[in-house]
Amino acid sequence: MKKGTIIVLGVFAVLLVAVLATREDHVSVGVRKLELPKVDKEKATALELGGARSVRLEKDGAVWRVMDPKKPDPKYVAEESLVTSALDALGQVRNPDFVTGRAQTHAEYGLDEAQGLTLKVVQPGAPDFQLVLGKAAKNGGAYVRKAGTDEVFVARGWLEGALRKDVKDWRKRALLSLQVEDLTQLTLRSKEGEALTLNAGDKPGAWSVAEGTVLPPGFRFDPSLADQLARQLASLSAQDFLEGEAAADAATGLGGPHDTVEAKLKDGKSVTVHIAPAPAGQKDAAVAARVDGDPQVYQLAAYSADALRKRLADLRDLHLFRSIPPR
């Protein structure tokens, strides 16, 4: 090997060692980045969506509430899990892929004023920031840009699905806040005026018909069906909400004979759910419902309402045989 070649290789080796010793883990020279403040879901106090949606979420003590910024009253209780999911999704926006810096492409990616969903995050002690959310990206994630800038990026994750919701979509849909274990008694009253009381036993699922109830000859009660009823009540969720004239008793049927379910709790409190009759000739139509002390009128899916409209005959044990537990 020639002496000149050896010298060149030696110089190259020295330079290579120097580069490897001093290089950064991620070379960022010339690479465009989307710099966003860290989102702390414990400190965030408000999220405001504008543009393609008009929604404001704000923390009221320990409760998140949602409203239309153009009509701040009324304020509705928000589903906390949805807010948490949105904040988690924002926290996952790290090092998104750069797409283009051309403002004329914003419409193509759904990031112009007509299509873009603007998001403002408020965190006390940290600078507010605004993000514009566009269409879902072809390979997952969504197109985003920082408000006031032209650069378009792709943010991977579930950000688009977590944020693109109307006021109604953010609302809490659970009618009650109950645990099955806290129930001591259920009283079912039918629109025909019949009443049936069920008592919770000392063990989970050990429901029984209240003493004094007249049972048909040969009738066997199935505690598991009563337990299903209790669990359906505790997890009761609205399909939709009724407002204005549509929520009036005359319109819903709650002003006339209707079914009710009263639940008594271990702490001595009770709660009653009113279930309107099914719309005439519409077997699978949603049914209106309300809870004593709650002004909101809800719509239940037909199957949810039917699961609560139980008569004594619906709780009959239909098993031909039951295994006898060993002593």
Q: How far apart are CA 59 and CA 72, in angstroms?
A: 14
Q: Quick one: average pLDDT of 117-127? A: 87
Q: Taking the mean position of all CA atoms in its chain, how far away is CA 222? A: 34
Residues 6+ apart with CB under 8 A from 280: none
| Residue 92: C-alpha distances to residues 33, 144, 199 (Å) | 15, 13, 48
Which residue intervals of the chain bear CATH 2.60.40? Answer: 180-315
Per-residue confidence at 16, pLDDT binned at 50, 70, 90?
A: low
Per-residue confidence at 263, pLDDT binned at 50, 70, 90?
A: very high
Q: How far apart are CA 88 and CA 175, in angstroms?
A: 26
Reported pTM: 0.78
Q: How many other CB atoms sit within 10 Å of the CB of residue 154?
A: 20
Amino acid at the residue 155: A
Structure tokens at 63: 């409760």
pLDDT at 4 over 90: no
Instruction: Tell me if the domain spanning 180-315 has CATH number 2.30.30.
Output: no
Q: State residue 7's pLDDT score.
A: 59
Q: How far apart are CA 157 and CA 123, in angstroms?
A: 22
Q: How far apart are CA 79 and CA 57, in angstroms?
A: 10
pLDDT tens digit string along 38-66? 888 888 999 999 988 899 999 999 899 99
The rounded mean pLDDT for the chain is: 87
Q: How many other CB atoms sit within 10 Å of the CB of residue 266?
A: 11
Query: Edge-to-edge strand order for the sheet containing 152-155?
Result: 71-77, 63-68, 55-60, 46-51, 117-122, 129-136, 142-146, 152-155, 97-100
pLDDT tens digit string along 202-255? 898 899 999 989 999 999 999 999 999 999 999 999 999 999 999 999 999 999
Q: Quick one: average pLDDT of 105-126? A: 91
